[in-house]
Amino acid sequence: MDLRQLDCFLAVASELHFGRAAEKLYMSQSSVSEAVKALERALGAPLFDRTSRRVALTPLGETLRQGAAPAVIMLKAALDDCRRQASGKQRRLSIGFLGGGFYELYRPLVAEFTAAHPGVELDFTELTYVTHYAAVADGSVDVAFCRLPLGADGLCHGPIVLRDQRMLCVPHDHPFAAAHLLDPELLARERLVRMVPGSVNQEWQDYHFPRHTPRGKPIGDGPIVRTVREGIEAVNARQGLLMLTKRAASYYATPQIAFVEIDLPAMPSALVRRIDDHRPILQELDALLLRIAMRYGVAPG
C-alpha cells in the first residue's frame, strides 16, 4: 500500500466516478482503476460497488474514507514541511480567502504573524464560492477565512472576528437602488444568482443565496456563478441580484452597480480549519486575528 493508492481511492470516493477522479489527479483512468484494485487486494475486500451506471462506496470504503482523508492531508503537510526544511526553505502556512478576504485586518495580520513566526511563510490563496470550503476539507489550504455558517462537514471555526451587515447588489438604476433599508420580502419579485449545486451544504446556500424570503415567499433563480466577480457581472447584465457584505460593497464598488442595505442578520466570518487539525500554530493564528479585530474595533461583542 502506498500514498498514490490512497490518493486514487480518495479521489474516486470524492467524485464517485473513475473518469473524473483521473482528470483531478492528471492520471489515466486505467492507472487510477489499477491503483484502487491494488488497494482492495491489500485489504482483502472491495472499497466500491461498481456498476455500468454508478460507483458507490462500500461500508469498508466509507470507513477508510473517513479515516484516511485527514491522515493523508496531515502526512502530506508533514512531508512538505520536511522537504522545505531539508532544502533550507521556510515552513509554509497556506491561508485561503474569498472575495476581499481579510479587508482591514490583512496587513496587521501578516506583519504581526511574521514577526512572531519568522520561520513560517504565509501563502495566501484566493478561493471561489465553489472551493472556499472544499479547499480546507481536502487540504489544499491549511485554513481559510470564510463566511459562516460552516459549509461542509469535518470542519470547525475559530472566534468570529467580523460580523458584517448584508447588502444587496443591484444595477445602479434598479428601483431598489434608492432604498435606505430594504425589506427582504421584496426579494420575492426578483432573481438571485445561484451557486454550483453541491459545492457547499444546503445550510450555507440557504443563508447566503436564499430561495425564500423570511416569510416563505419564493425567490427567483438567476444564473449560476462561481466567483464574486461573476456574480457582479450577472448583476451588471441584469440577470440577477447578488447578496454581499458591507465591506465587500466598498471593495467591489463601480458606477454601474449600487449596494443597498437589506434588513437581515449580519453575516459572521471566521477562520475555518479541519476539525482534526490541532496544530498549535493554527490556534495562535486564531488568537492573533481576534486580538487584531478587537484592537480595530470590528470584532463582535
Q: Which residues of 170-208 are buried (b: 16+ CB within 10 A; e: fewer)?
A: bbeebebeebeebebebbeebbbbbbeeebbeeebbebb
CATH of the domain at 65: 1.10.10.10
Is residue 230 located within the same domain as residue 260?
Answer: yes
Q: Based on the fold, state whether residues 208 and 227 are members of the same structural domain.
A: yes
Task: Say if residue 123 is in the same domain as residue 203.
Answer: no
Which pLDDT tens digit goes with each residue over 196-233? 888 899 999 999 999 999 999 999 999 999 999 999 99
- Mark whether 158 and 273 lie in a shared domain: yes
Give the Cα-Cα-Cα angle 244, 248, 251 (nearest 5 degrees). 145
Contacts of 72-75 with CB under 8 Å at 24 or more apart are 72/3, 72/6, 72/7, 72/10, 72/139, 73/138, 73/139, 73/274, 73/277, 74/276, 74/277, 75/3
Has residue 300 been placed in a domain? no
pLDDT at 78 over 90: no
| Structure confidence at residue 53 (pLDDT) | 83
Question: What are 79-117's pLDDT values in tens digits?
Answer: 777 776 666 555 789 999 988 778 889 999 999 999 999
Same domain, 200 and 261: yes
Which CATH number belongs to the domain containing residue 288 in this structure? 3.40.190.10
Band of pLDDT at residue 172, cut at 50, 70 and 90: very high
Looking at the structure, tell me whether residues 281 and 144 fall in a common domain.
yes
Q: Which of 83, 117, 140 is the last residue of a domain?
A: 83
Q: Is the dihedral of CA 171, 174, 180, 183 positive or negative?
A: negative
- Looking at the fold, whether 46 and 94 belong to one and the same domain comes out as no
155 and 273 housed in the same domain: yes
Residue 272 and residue 260 share a domain: no
pLDDT at 57: 92
- For residue 210, being part of any structural domain is answered with yes
Looking at the structure of the chain, the number of domains it has is: 3
Stated pTM of the model: 0.73
Is residue 301 assigned to a domain? no
Which residues span the domain enclosing 241?
166-265
The answer to whether residues 25 and 11 touch, using CB atoms and an 8 Å cutoff, is yes
